[in-house]
Structure 1
Amino acid sequence: MSTTLTNRWDSLFSNAMDAVTREFDRDFRSTGNGIRNEFRRYGGLAVWEDDGHIHIEMDLPGLHLDDLSLSMEKGQLWIRGERKLPQHDRKTWYDERYYGAFQRVVVLNDSVDPESIDATLEDGVLYISIAKKAEHQPRRIEVKAGKGSQKRLEQN
C-alpha cells in the first residue's frame, strides 16, 4: 500500500513540476525552440531589489556596446541586441555560440522612476539599476515613549 501511495505522491509532484516547466516554456519561447535554447542564445537574467533600487544583471559575453540598446516602453524595459558573425574567413568545425538579434523584456511596476535608469556593460555583464520612487521606498518611523513609559524611566 505504501508503494502505491509513494507512486501517487511522486506522480502528483512530477505533474506539478511538468506544469511549471510547460508554463516557463510557453512564456519564454519566442522562436519555437523552447526555454533551454532561448537561454543559450543570450545570457541569463537576474532581477532583484533592495530598499532603494531594482537591479537587473544580464550575461552578454562577446557583445559590443554598439550592438546593445535599452528602452523603456509602457512600464516595460526592453533589452535588445545583436551578436554579429565574425567577418573573417574560417572553416568552422563546431560552434555553439549564437549569432543574431535577441530581445528580452522586464516588466516593471509603477514603483520605479524610469528617468533614473543607469546601465553599464562591463566584462560581458550588463548591469542595470533603477531607483524606486520615494513613496515606494521604506521609511523609518520614530517610536515615541508614552507618558507612563517616561515615568518608569525616571524611577530607574
Structure 2
Amino acid sequence: MFTNIANRGGGLFDDFRRLQREMDQLFSASPMPSGIRALGREAYPPINIGSTEEQVDVYLFAAGVDPRSLDISIQQNLLTLAGERKLDTETGVNYYRKERFNGAFRRVVTLPEDVDPDKVQAKYQDGVLHVTLQRRESSRPRKIEVQ
C-alpha cells in the first residue's frame, strides 16, 4: 500500500529518533515516555509482567502475529519471546506516518531465580500471548504448625 519514507536512507532516521528520545528524556519532567507513540521499535510488542507467590505471568500484546510463528525459550533465567508480524502493504504509495510495526521482534525478560523452567505454559488468545511460569515448590511460602 505505502512505502515507509522514514526507512529510506537506513540508519540515519533511526539515529534521529534515538536522539529525539534522549532529548525528550533529558528535558521532560517524567523519565517515562509520554505515550505509545514515544516508544521505539525496541519496545514492540508491549509487555506486562506480574507475579504472585505461586507464579509469574507475562503478557505480550502482539495483535496480528501468527501464534505458530512465536518462539518462546528460557535459558539461565531469561525468557525470550520472538516472532514476526507481517502486514500487507500496497506498492506505489508513500506513508507520511506509520505506527503499526511490521517485521521481526524479540523481547527478553529476566525472571526471578525461583521460577521452575520445567513448569511453563503459553497461551495465545485475542492477540495476547500469556506465559505462565510456576515458582519452585521449595521457594513458596509454607505454614509450619507448632506442636
TM-score when scaled to structure 2?
0.66
Query: Which residue of the partner structure matches residue 77 of structure 2?
Result: 75
Q: Percent identity?
A: 28
Deviates more, 1:92-101 or 1:50-59: 92-101
2:133 to 130, 135, 141: 130
Task: Look up the equivalent residue of 1:135 and give its one-letter code.
Answer: S
1:45 to partner: Cα distance: 1.1
Q: Note the 1:96-111 alignment, pairs <5 A.
A: 96-111=99-114
1:87 to partner: Cα distance: 6.6
Q: Which runs of 5+ in 2 are unaligned?
A: 1-25
Deviates more, 1:78-87 or 1:56-65: 78-87
Query: Which residue of the partner structure matches residue 116 of structure 1?
Result: 119
The Cα offsets for residues 112-140 of structure 1, whole Å up to 9 and x where unpaired, read as 11011100110000101011001111112
The number of equivalent residue pairs is 117
Larger Rg: 1
| RCO higher in structure (CA 8 A, sep ≥6) | 2
Deviates more, 1:80-89 or 1:123-132: 80-89
Task: Look up the equivalent residue of 1:52 and give its one-letter code.
Answer: E
**What is the rounded CA distance, in whole Å, between the counterparts of 2:132 and 2:111 in structure 1?**
12
Query: Which residue of the partner structure matches residue 139 of structure 1?
Result: 142
TM-score when scaled to structure 1?
0.63
C-alpha spacing 1:92/1:119, structure 2 compared with 1 (3 Å): farther
Query: Which residue of the partner structure matches residue 3 of structure 2?
Result: none
**What is the rounded CA distance, in whole Å, between the counterparts of 2:67 and 2:94 in structure 1?**
26
**What is the rounded CA distance, in whole Å, between the counterparts of 1:136 and 1:100 in structure 2?**
39
Contact 2:123 2:129 in 1 (8 A): yes
Task: Look up the equivalent residue of 1:82 and give its one-letter code.
Answer: E
**What is the rounded CA distance, in whole Å, between the counterparts of 1:86 and 1:64 in structure 2?**
14
Query: Which residue of the partner structure matches residue 48 of structure 1?
Result: 50
Q: Which runs of 5+ in 1 are unaligned?
A: 1-14, 26-34, 145-156
1:105 to partner: Cα distance: 0.6
Query: Which residue of the partner structure matches residue 60 of structure 1?
Result: 62
